[in-house]
Structure 1
């Protein structure tokens, strides 16, 4: 009987003291804020960042050194995504284009990194903005530079805020402030579909990992699901679960979509029944570009208030990443990206403090049991 009481009490505990969230590496070198962070799906595994300084950088995850610098855009680089099989990147920009460009990276020999003590996810010390980065970043002068794209996608009449590859990598989708999303044939650069219907600027787009499905997010408080599985038709569903800008909506490997919003909520949806969310996460700050881990299905929430929080798919809070005057983001956190294939860094975040951060997140399975 005593054991049963203990189990019941344990099931109601919301402590995250057993979740270990360790800062592993900081990636510093951009001269302006970072909008997006992404990780390659091919070997070698490298980190990509997209910045308002008009560049995209590729980094060695282990050493934090710049491997490639892309300078082909004439405006802010707002997103970066890697081709599923080739060493090719897709970037979206304020110059009203999306670029597809090739890179070749050879990883340097990793150097021993400084020891970083493990920190409880709940530990936090606040600090003032006087510690914000204000010096220009130092990018190695021998970092190879790519100046010209393979292909430029040019059909938008406004800022291209995001872009992603469809499964297979033969088509790409872009989202723009001109209120449309465009589907392109990558090989020919031809516009295949213009996806219209949003009433205000788009903020994000995401593709399903295994099916020809696209989700677009907008300032009009909705996100839309576009179905291209039948080549002869494409259907669309509109979802109205938020009360402010939908900043991102992403697919999980299963049958879920997770949406985040400036209304300070994140909602989990079942693709088979999208009339209402199956879980709602309420927070104290606007939510930016979220990411869901494939293995443990953990949602990483980057916030305007410099916090990054982790939740499970049922809405239970698992951890908060440490932030103090020594480590963590100093300004708004814009994006999160999981990378389960890397042995030391399995979560990356980036923000207006001009840096990306690699984290090692270890959440015991017991914390996720209901």
Structure 2
């Protein structure tokens, strides 16, 4: 094995190792979930080197520098207020979803006008229009942390894989028999998972464009899905009121079906160390996205506002006002210092 590159992961704290084995590039992570401002960096580095043979003396100082950066992030206070930076007339029809790349330097918007657009965050310039779907573009994602590819899922029952840099379409994934409403890249950017109104989820190979497996087990539409941080598990949430945890390598469900909600599940997500799964439901028990630090909740509403909430107290810290119609989608960037809101008024707004 040969170490090729190190990546920092601020949320949750950790370091990714890109390494070569048997002629193939692979990735593993070192999770530092218990890192605090008081952690002894030298002692932690010694523990990491003892457990991970890829961390040799030649890269020890680089790893130490990354740990120090993570410590600095952990100690930062989160008292930011957001102000409107720019409003963009993004599409000719209402927006469906918005998403940032990892750095927050660009973002994507999907729309009922059947296109996805890539935007420069700082300038508000439209970089590319991704055209080719024959119906609403509903689900969108960058392949973070890399950010060089975009996946789009459509009501036309297909998912498309694009170059974020050129706008070229690499593949069209066909196989679902109903609308695609959710999708996600695995952390290694080797797979795309799609969830559909046909009750199925599918895994697709990014390199070859071929279907890897079909995940069958739900009895109603799959509305949300999420990979864990290592990419070996996928959780799906469905209108059948349940969530299912899947083994990515086999395409089979593992453990038990997660039950308990009295309404349709609208969102599923792993916690930091992937020991827990959070589910949101239309039974009104939960609905929100978190900032990367986990200290703030961002909600979008039919009341034309987005609101920032404190996780610890439940207090509303700020209402983001200005849209003239209901807000369909909202997202934090990776740093948690920028917000995008997408609305039925056909605009998106950037908040710093």
Mark yes or no: TM-score above 0.5.
yes
**Residue 302 and residue 222 in structure 1: after superposition, are their counterparts in 2 closer, same or farther (change >3 A)?**
farther
Structure 1 residue 58, shift from structure 2 partner: 0.9
Structure with the higher strand share, 1 or 2:
2
**Residue 58 and residue 232 in structure 1: after superposition, are their counterparts in 2 closer, same or farther (change >3 A)?**
closer
For residues 265 and 214 of structure 1, the distance between their equivalents in structure 2, rounded to whole angstroms, comes to 23
For residues 225 and 308 of structure 2, the distance between their equivalents in structure 1, rounded to whole angstroms, comes to 22
- Structure 1 stretches of 5 or more lacking a match? 1-17, 106-145, 267-286, 361-370
**Residue 356 and residue 257 in structure 1: after superposition, are their counterparts in 2 closer, same or farther (change >3 A)?**
farther
- The answer to whether 1:64 aligns with 2:150 is no
What's 1:125 paired with?
none
Structure 1 residue 251, shift from structure 2 partner: 3.0
* SS of alignment partner, residue 204 of structure 2: strand
What's 1:41 paired with?
102
Show the 5 A alignment for 1:208-247: 208-228=228-248, 234-235=253-254, 237-247=256-266
Give CA-to-partner distance per residue, 1:236-281, whole Å, 9 cap, x none.
Answer: 5432343222222223434443333333331xxxxxxxxxxxxxxx
Across the aligned residues of Structure 1 and Structure 2, the Cα RMSD in angstroms comes to 2.5
Show the 5 A alignment for 1:195-206: 195-206=215-226
Q: Which has the higher contact order (CA 8 A, sep 6+)?
A: 1
Give CA-to-partner distance per residue, 1:62-115, whole Å, 9 cap, x none.
Answer: 22221111012111100111113251100100110000011327xxxxxxxxxx
Is the 1:312–1:318 contact (alpha carbons within 8 Å) kept by the matching residues of 2?
yes
Pick from 290, 293, 297 the counterpart of residue 291 of structure 2: 293
- The answer to whether 1:32 aligns with 2:52 is no
Structure 1 residue 151, shift from structure 2 partner: 0.8
- The answer to whether 1:347 aligns with 2:339 is yes
For residues 315 and 204 of structure 1, the distance between their equivalents in structure 2, rounded to whole angstroms, comes to 27
For residues 326 and 261 of structure 2, the distance between their equivalents in structure 1, rounded to whole angstroms, comes to 21
Is the 1:21–1:321 contact (alpha carbons within 8 Å) kept by the matching residues of 2?
no
**Residue 33 and residue 240 in structure 1: after superposition, are their counterparts in 2 closer, same or farther (change >3 A)?**
farther
- The answer to whether 1:207 aligns with 2:198 is no
What's 2:158 paired with?
97
What's 1:21 paired with?
82
For residues 263 and 305 of structure 2, the distance between their equivalents in structure 1, rounded to whole angstroms, comes to 20
What's 2:196 paired with?
176
- The answer to whether 1:159 aligns with 2:179 is yes
Is the 1:19–1:318 contact (alpha carbons within 8 Å) kept by the matching residues of 2?
no
For residues 251 and 282 of structure 2, the distance between their equivalents in structure 1, rounded to whole angstroms, comes to 36
- The answer to whether 1:77 aligns with 2:108 is no
TM-score (norm. length: structure 2):
0.70
For residues 324 and 285 of structure 2, the distance between their equivalents in structure 1, rounded to whole angstroms, comes to 22
Give CA-to-partner distance per residue, 1:100-153, whole Å, 9 cap, x none.
Answer: 011327xxxxxxxxxxxxxxxxxxxxxxxxxxxxxxxxxxxxxxxx4x520111
For residues 267 and 112 of structure 2, the distance between their equivalents in structure 1, rounded to whole angstroms, comes to 19
* SS of alignment partner, residue 152 of structure 2: strand
For residues 174 and 315 of structure 1, the distance between their equivalents in structure 2, rounded to whole angstroms, comes to 35
Structure 1 residue 51, shift from structure 2 partner: 0.7
* SS of alignment partner, residue 221 of structure 1: coil
**Residue 351 and residue 210 in structure 1: after superposition, are their counterparts in 2 closer, same or farther (change >3 A)?**
farther
* SS of alignment partner, residue 238 of structure 1: coil
Give CA-to-partner distance per residue, 1:320-363, whole Å, 9 cap, x none.
Answer: 4232xxx1x33232222211337xx5222212221222223xxx
Count of equivalent residues: 272
- The answer to whether 1:316 aligns with 2:314 is yes
TM-score (norm. length: structure 1):
0.66
For residues 265 and 316 of structure 1, the distance between their equivalents in structure 2, rounded to whole angstroms, comes to 14
For residues 305 and 236 of structure 1, the distance between their equivalents in structure 2, rounded to whole angstroms, comes to 40
